[in-house]
């Protein structure tokens, strides 16, 4: 990461600290940290951007009540820890930050933990992002890599080139999470195909799909991390590669597919950096269960949670077109769901050699 960026972050943190100190010592007033509220009640669908964006709601974190003092302290401690990390020119995962700031508060009688669990410290890291206006990857706080990529693309990480096409029949590359240090060097593929799970990705890769259709295969291994989403967006918007997404035919899978396309509530403040509105969610459709004759034994019964989620989704502005409404109604009628892996029932090559090409042909991608 560039030293300018680093210095910028340090400067912002110092400014925040200085402001608090002045408020207290000179102005004798309660310091207040102003943050946008994060969560579903402050997430707004933007028709124009075709993605979820953050609303106007703000929260004020100030040590003016017994309840808020711990939060205020947590934010400042985390900000200071970030500054230290940058001072030392190191990198850390979010778990690393949790451990670096772990401590006990209180005396023998009233002991409690500074963080109840890592979720607390993750929230504090988000707060530092919001306070500084800089995503955490840019101040070297990353998460464990879990996204994978395979196909004709070259990445430059630090000083080294990673050619993801090498051995792309048998292996994939982890998508580095320190995206500040990652650049896309060259892309030779015609399109990008994102699948929900790494097991499915391995199957498709092994079949020679990449070579046959000149495609880049990617997966977020479930819920995609930021690095994966950013990579998808860059390939689509900077390299003009069409992106198609395949996930399981259930409300959960559809949700994951939509992370790429419209973003998420918890990261709505960062949608501009993470969301690929042009991505196309191609499958697996609920109707595919029946069109491709998935045997009954490979179908799963929808849970109550699934039904609730689907009913919820039906009302979402981004799922209003007829095609999706039809699909969701079908699901609510049949109450059956299905995983991409279910195609293996038709043979191990069926998914890569029959289903996917048919779907891609429908939209004229191949």
Partner 1 sequence: MYLKSLNPASSVLKKDEQKPPINTQQTAKMDKHKIIYNKKAESEFFVDNSALAGFTGERILYMAVRELIENALDSCELFSILPSIKISLKTFDQSNDLWVLDCEDNGTGISSDKLPVAVCSFLTSAKYMEKQQRGLFGVGLKMVAAFSTKDTDFPIKVWSKSMEESDEYYYELRTDIGTNKPIVLLKKQVNKSESHIDGPSGFRIRVVLRARLVPITKNKIYDYVTQTSIVNPYAFITFETDDGMFSFDRRTSIMPTPAKEILPHPSDMDLQTLKKAISKHSGQKITLPKILCYSFQKLSYEKAKEIISNSDLDFDLKDTKISFSEHDLIKIVNICKKTKFQNPNTDHLSPIGQGILTIGMMSEYTIVSNKNIETTSSDNNKRDAMMVNEAKKLNHDKEDKNFSKTETSNIGASKPNFSVRVLQPVLTAYTSRTGIINNRPTIIETGLAYGGDINSFKLYRFANKIPLLYDEGSDVAREVVSEVEINKLGITKKQAKEQFSTNKESKRDRVIEVLPIHIFFHICSTKIPYKTAGKESIASEGELKSYMKSCLSELYRKLSTQIRKELKLKEAENKMKLYKHYLPFIVGAITDSLGIKNSNLDDSFSSLIEKHLTKKPPTGVGDDDNVVNNSEPPHSGFVPKSSLSLSNKAVDLEKKKKLTISKNFKDIGDKSIKNTELNKTLSNSSSNSNASFVVSDKPKEKERRHKNDKKIKNSKKN
Residue 149 near residue 115 (C-beta atoms within 8 A)? no
Query: Which tokens go with 198?
Result: 């790494």
Contact with partner 1 (CB under 8 A) among 24, 44, 166, 363: 24
Query: Helix, strand, coil shares of the chain as percentages rounded to 5?
Result: 50, 20, 35
Q: Does 105 bind partner 1 (CB under 8 A)?
A: yes
Q: Name the segment binding partner 1 (CB under 8 A); options: 67-75, 125-133, 185-193, 220-228.
A: 67-75
Pick 7 or 29: Cβ nearer partner 1: 29
Q: Name the segment binding partner 1 (CB under 8 A); options: 69-77, 176-184, 191-199, 280-288.
A: 69-77
C-alpha closest to that of 81 among 12, 36, 141, 21: 141
Choice among 75, 99, 213, 290 that is catalytic: 99
Residue 86 near residue 139 (C-beta atoms within 8 A)? yes
Pick 30 or 161: Cβ nearer partner 1: 30
User: CA–CA separation, 253 vs 337, rounded Å?
Assistant: 10
Pick 73 or 330: Cβ nearer partner 1: 73
Residue 71 near residue 78 (C-beta atoms within 8 A)? no
Q: Name the segment binding partner 1 (CB under 8 A); options: 40-48, 109-117, 275-283, 335-343.
A: 109-117
> To the nearest whole angstrom, how small is the minimum distance from the Cβ of residue 20 to partner 1?
6
> To the nearest whole angstrom, how small is the minimum distance from the Cβ of residue 124 to partner 1?
11
Q: Does 80 bind partner 1 (CB under 8 A)?
A: yes
> To the nearest whole angstrom, how small is the minimum distance from the Cβ of residue 107 to partner 1?
7
SS (H, E, C) 165-207: CCCCCCCCEECCCCHHHEEEEEECCCEEEEECCHHHHHHHHHC
> To the nearest whole angstrom, how small is the minimum distance from the Cβ of residue 125 to partner 1?
14
User: CA–CA separation, 323 vs 158, rounded Å?
Assistant: 44
Q: Does 70 bind partner 1 (CB under 8 A)?
A: yes
Q: Name the segment binding partner 1 (CB under 8 A); options: 47-55, 66-74, 217-225, 342-350.
A: 66-74
- Residues contacting 206, CB < 8 A, separation 6+: 169, 170
Pick 67 or 315: Cβ nearer partner 1: 67
Cis omega (within 30 of 0) for bond into 284: yes
Any catalytic annotation for residue 290?
A: no
Q: Name the segment binding partner 1 (CB under 8 A); options: 25-33, 136-144, 170-178, 209-217.
A: 25-33
Render 201-260 in DSSP notation, one character per residue: HHHHHHTTHHHHHTEEEEE-SSS--HHHHHHHHHHHHTS---EEEE--BSHHHHHHHHHH
Q: Does 64 bind partner 1 (CB under 8 A)?
A: yes
How many residues touch partner 1 (CB under 8 A)?
A: 35
Contact with partner 1 (CB under 8 A) among 106, 133, 167, 347: 106
Residue 221 near residue 148 (C-beta atoms within 8 A)? yes
Pick 80 or 143: Cβ nearer partner 1: 80
User: CA–CA separation, 97 vs 125, rounded Å?
Assistant: 8
Positions annotated as catalytic residues are 99
- Which residues make up the interface to partner 1 (CB under 8 A)? 13-14, 17-18, 20-21, 24-25, 28-30, 63-67, 69-70, 72-73, 76-77, 79-80, 83-84, 103, 105-110, 112, 114
């Amino acid at each position: 990461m560039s030293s300018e960026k680093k210095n910028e972050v340090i400067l912002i943190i110092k400014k925040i600290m200085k402001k608090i100190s002045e408020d207290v010592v000179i102005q004798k007033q309660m310091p207040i940290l102003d943050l946008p509220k994060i969560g579903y009640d402050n997430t707004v669908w933007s028709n124009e951007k075709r993605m979820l964006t953050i609303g106007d709601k703000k929260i004020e974190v100030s040590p003016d009540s017994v309840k808020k003092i711990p939060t205020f302290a947590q934010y400042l401690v985390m900000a200071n820890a970030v500054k230290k990390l940058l001072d030392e020119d190191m990198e850390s995962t979010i778990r690393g930050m949790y451990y670096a700031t772990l401590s006990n508060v209180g005396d023998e009688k009233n002991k409690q933990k500074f963080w109840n669990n890592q979720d607390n410290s993750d929230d504090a890291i988000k707060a530092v992002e919001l306070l500084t206006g800089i995503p955490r990857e840019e101040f070297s706080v990353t998460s464990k890599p879990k996204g994978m990529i395979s196909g004709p693309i070259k990445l430059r990480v630090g000083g080294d080139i990673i050619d993801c096409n090498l051995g792309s029949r048998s292996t994939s590359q982890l998508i580095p999470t320190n995206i500040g240090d990652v650049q896309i060097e060259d892309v030779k593929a015609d399109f990008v195909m994102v699948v929900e799970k790494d097991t499915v990705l391995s199957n498709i890769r092994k079949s020679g799909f990449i070579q046959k259709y000149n495609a880049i295969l990617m997966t977020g291994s479930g819920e995609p991390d930021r690095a994966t989403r950013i990579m998808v967006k860059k390939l689509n918007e900077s390299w003009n590669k069409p992106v198609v997404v395949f996930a399981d035919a259930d409300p959960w899978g559809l949700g994951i597919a939509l992370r790429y396309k419209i973003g998420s509530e918890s990261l709505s403040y960062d949608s501009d950096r993470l969301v690929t509105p042009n991505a196309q969610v191609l499958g697996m459709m609920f109707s595919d269960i029946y069109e491709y004759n998935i045997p009954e034994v490979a179908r799963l019964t929808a849970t109550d949670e699934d039904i609730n989620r689907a009913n919820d989704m039906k009302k979402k502005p981004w799922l209003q077109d007829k095609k999706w409404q039809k699909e969701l109604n079908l699901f609510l009628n049949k109450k059956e769901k299905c995983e991409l892996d279910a195609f293996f029932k038709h043979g191990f090559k069926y998914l890569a050699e029959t289903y996917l090409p048919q779907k891609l042909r429908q939209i004229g991608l191949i």
